[in-house]
Amino acid sequence: MKVRFWGVRGSIASPGQHTLRYGGNTTCIEARSDEGHLIILDAGTGIFPLAQQLLKSLPVQANIFMTHSHWDHIQGLPFFTPLYIPGNKVRIHGAYDIVSQRGIEQIMEVQLQYSFFPVREAEMKANIDYRCVNVGEAVTIGDATVLPLLLNHPVVNYGYRIDCNGKSVFFTGDHEPWLNIYAPEDEGYAEFQQIIDQRQTQLDAALAGLDIMIADSSYTAAEYQGKLGWGHGTLEGSIAWGRRLGVKTLVCTHHEPERSDDALETAFGAALAANGVTATGGETTYLLSREGMELLL
């Protein structure tokens, strides 16, 4: 299996001199199974350069798995060029939205309202199929399986574990570790903490034996104190999580758009030091996601 990063920033695309090394596009990750089946995780602006690469070998057959419906994870979808070409097949997977009571098809409908975009969905000539997926129900894509897992974000957010011939990779989408909403002295604190601990234990169990974990690591631990409930993790927390699970490679992603490449490396180094580890000196290798980076399994 092969994993390639096409978009690594969070919240908003941030092109410019300060993001040249790691990239300024928002989230998009390509995974290829051993047999070559294409799985795309999220459709941020990074899906556009991926589309240009795919046009070199037509027809395209792609399975896009959306972690959630926030703008930085869907905004590249109308610019996924294979959608406009007859003979291509694109299946878009994601969660049912309990707020709008709509399926994953709404992410296209909302963006292609004629007031905001000049092309209607009816003008897209590819075979487009929408599939709502459920937590814990694996989807088979050729020689790979994709398992949706519920994580913590202000909207429904699925993380996806991909397994292929004994190798595995997991992407969190946007995830903030569960927090106790009660103060320690409150009556409901202990009971709610049990719920949180149970959720984390169940998630950890579902991630056993991971080769690669790609984790939302937007903030530093210090920054996070002012952003509780925003739905994102920290560099320090992701590194600790990957170490606890014993993953072979932990990739920190969803880089803050205001953070320059130099500042990102500084924050990453401080987070490693806070956990008492080095990037490559232990059982787990720790990386910052970078556009164009490929990992082979």
Q: Which domains does the chain have, with CATH numbers?
A: 2-296 (3.60.15.10)
Whole-Å CA distances, 240 to 177, 197, 217: 12, 16, 11
pLDDT for residue 258 is more than 90 = yes
SS3 51: helix
Euclidean distance between CA atoms 6 and 20, whole angstroms: 13
Instruction: Say if CB 266 and CB 260 are below 8 A apart.
Output: no
Q: What pLDDT does 56 receive?
A: 96
Average pLDDT of the chain? 97
Residue 43 one-letter amino acid = A
pLDDT for residue 74 is more than 90 = yes
Instruction: Say if CB 285 and CB 292 are below 8 A apart.
Output: no
Euclidean distance between CA atoms 88 and 127, whole angstroms: 6
Q: Residue 266: in which H helix or E strand, if any?
A: helix 261-274
Using one digit for the tens of pLDDT, what is the confidence trace for 97-142?
988 899 999 999 999 998 999 999 989 999 999 999 999 999 999 9
pLDDT for residue 55 is more than 90 = yes
What is the pLDDT averaged over residues 262-288? Answer: 97
Q: Count other Cβ atoms within 10 Å, centred on residue 55.
A: 13
pLDDT for residue 225 is more than 90 = yes
Strand (E) positions, the chain? Answer: 2-7, 28-32, 38-41, 61-65, 89-94, 127-132, 139-141, 144-150, 158-164, 167-171, 212-216, 249-253, 285-288, 294-296
Taking alpha carbons only, the member of 72, 95, 93 closest to residue 155 is 95
What is the pLDDT averaged over residues 212-216? Answer: 98
Euclidean distance between CA atoms 102 and 186, whole angstroms: 38
Euclidean distance between CA atoms 111 and 26, whole angstroms: 17
Q: What pLDDT does 246 receive?
A: 96
Using one digit for the tens of pLDDT, what is the confidence trace for 136-186?
999 999 999 999 999 999 999 999 999 999 999 999 999 999 999 999 999
Euclidean distance between CA atoms 214 and 206, whole angstroms: 15
pLDDT tier, 223 (very low <50, low <70, confident <90, very high otherwise): very high
pLDDT for residue 281 is more than 90 = no
pLDDT tier, 52 (very low <50, low <70, confident <90, very high otherwise): very high
pLDDT for residue 227 is more than 90 = yes
Tokens of 220: 């530093």
Euclidean distance between CA atoms 179 and 77, whole angstroms: 32
Residues 6 or more apart whose CB falls under 8 angstroms from that of 14 comprise 24, 257, 258
Specify the residue for token string 């560099």: 235
For the chain, percent of residues with pLDDT exceeding 70: 100
Q: What pLDDT does 99 receive?
A: 86
Q: Count other Cβ atoms within 10 Å, centred on residue 73.
A: 27
Strand (E) positions, 55-165? Answer: 61-65, 89-94, 127-132, 139-141, 144-150, 158-164
Tokens of 6: 């096409």
Query: What is the pTM (predicted TM-score) of this model?
Result: 0.97
Q: What pLDDT does 154 receive?
A: 94
What is the pLDDT averaged over residues 40-67? Answer: 98
Strands 212-216 and 249-253: parallel
pLDDT tier, 239 (very low <50, low <70, confident <90, very high otherwise): very high
Taking alpha carbons only, the member of 120, 93, 105, 97 closest to residue 39 is 93
